[in-house]
């Protein structure tokens, strides 16, 4: 009689043991991160790999975007648990407008849904989370701009946390717009060319008033910024992981924070 060998992962009880071990490891990581204490003030995340995750899971690739939106809610909770006050996410770039009309409709409908949800989300109001969209909002459909305005107006007085959602965003476009606005002020006599320094440029960026990101995380195995926060990331620590965004878990998140804590930030000194 031939006895078929089952993969270890499919043996009875193994999945449960693996889950218990992962939970224990996650708790150990959390305790280590909290013990070290050097928690970043501002974490930025490039959400990458929604479509790849869906395809690997045998789903329509566009379903990955909905799964990615749900993952974001989970990750925001992790950030709050560590006391990370500022979060910036790269949700949609200017280059993403080159995608198919079908995918763009799915994405724009999802943005409308999620920004409208902000207005009614009890956690947003409980934790005083200010929600802002950063990017060239003029290039977005009217209904998306309307939903963004509702979310921003509903949270504009909050100062507990800041959630920046980069949508219709391009880092070079942001810098070009900042330069253009500064030039306009010089033409009006409000500034002299000699007045222009780093602080002036900072004050004309989408992220004006916020600290630069301490840590930038990118999922899906890609190791580049893709134009994200080009000015603001000058001294950010970078963390790249293989997990596609919808499968990014708390262990990977805590590893990113621990890696940040283990680096010496010299700022060129």
Residue 134 near residue 164, CB atoms below 8 Å: yes
Beta-carbon count within 10 A of 104 CB = 15
**Catalytic one of 96, 136, 202, 249:** 96
Residues with Cβ within 8 Å of residue 56, at least 6 apart in sequence: 244
What is the C-alpha to C-alpha distance for residues 213 and 222, in angstroms, rounded to an integer? 19
Residue tagged 């680096």 (tokens): 263
Q: Where are the beta strands (DSSP E) in 18-160?
A: 42-46, 86-93, 129-134
Residues with Cβ within 8 Å of residue 206, at least 6 apart in sequence: 134, 135, 164, 166, 169, 174
| Dihedral sign for Cα atoms in the order 201, 203, 207, 213 | positive
96 in catalytic set? yes
What is the C-alpha to C-alpha distance for residues 80 and 127, in angstroms, rounded to an integer? 9
SS3 at position 235: coil
Residue 86 β-bridge partners? 42, 162
Tell me how far the alpha carbon of residue 169 is from its chain's centroid.
13
Residue 171 β-bridge partners? none
48 in catalytic set? yes
Catalytic residues, which ones? 48, 96
């Amino acid at each position: 009689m031939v006895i078929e060998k089952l993969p270890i992962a499919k043996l009875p009880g193994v999945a449960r043991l693996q889950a218990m071990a992962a939970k224990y490891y996650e708790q150990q990581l959390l305790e280590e991160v909290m013990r070290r204490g050097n928690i970043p003030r501002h974490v930025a995340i490039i959400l990458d790999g929604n479509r790849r995750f869906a395809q690997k899971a045998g789903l329509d690739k566009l379903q990955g975007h909905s799964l990615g939106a749900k993952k974001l809610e989970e990750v925001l909770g992790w950030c709050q648990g560590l006391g990370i006050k500022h979060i910036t996410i790269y949700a949609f770039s200017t280059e993403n407008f080159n995608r198919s009309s079908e995918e763009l409709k799915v994405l724009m409908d999802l943005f409308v849904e999620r920004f409208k949800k902000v207005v009614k989300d009890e956690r947003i109001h409980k934790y005083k989370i200010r929600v802002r969209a950063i990017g060239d909002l003029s290039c977005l459909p009217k209904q998306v701009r309307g939903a963004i305005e509702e979310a921003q107006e509903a949270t504009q007085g909050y100062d507990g946390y800041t959630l920046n959602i980069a949508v219709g965003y391009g880092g070079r476009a942001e810098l070009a717009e900042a330069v253009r606005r500064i030039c306009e002020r010089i033409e009006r006599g409000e500034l002299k060319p000699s007045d222009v320094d780093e602080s002036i440029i900072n004050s004309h960026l989408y992220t004006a008033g916020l600290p630069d990101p301490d840590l930038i995380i990118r999922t899906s195995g890609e190791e580049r910024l893709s134009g994200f926060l080009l000015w603001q990331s000058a001294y950010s620590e970078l963390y790249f992981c293989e997990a596609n965004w919808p499968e990014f878990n708390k262990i990977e998140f805590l590893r990113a924070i621990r890696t940040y804590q283990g680096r010496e930030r010299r700022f060129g000194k």
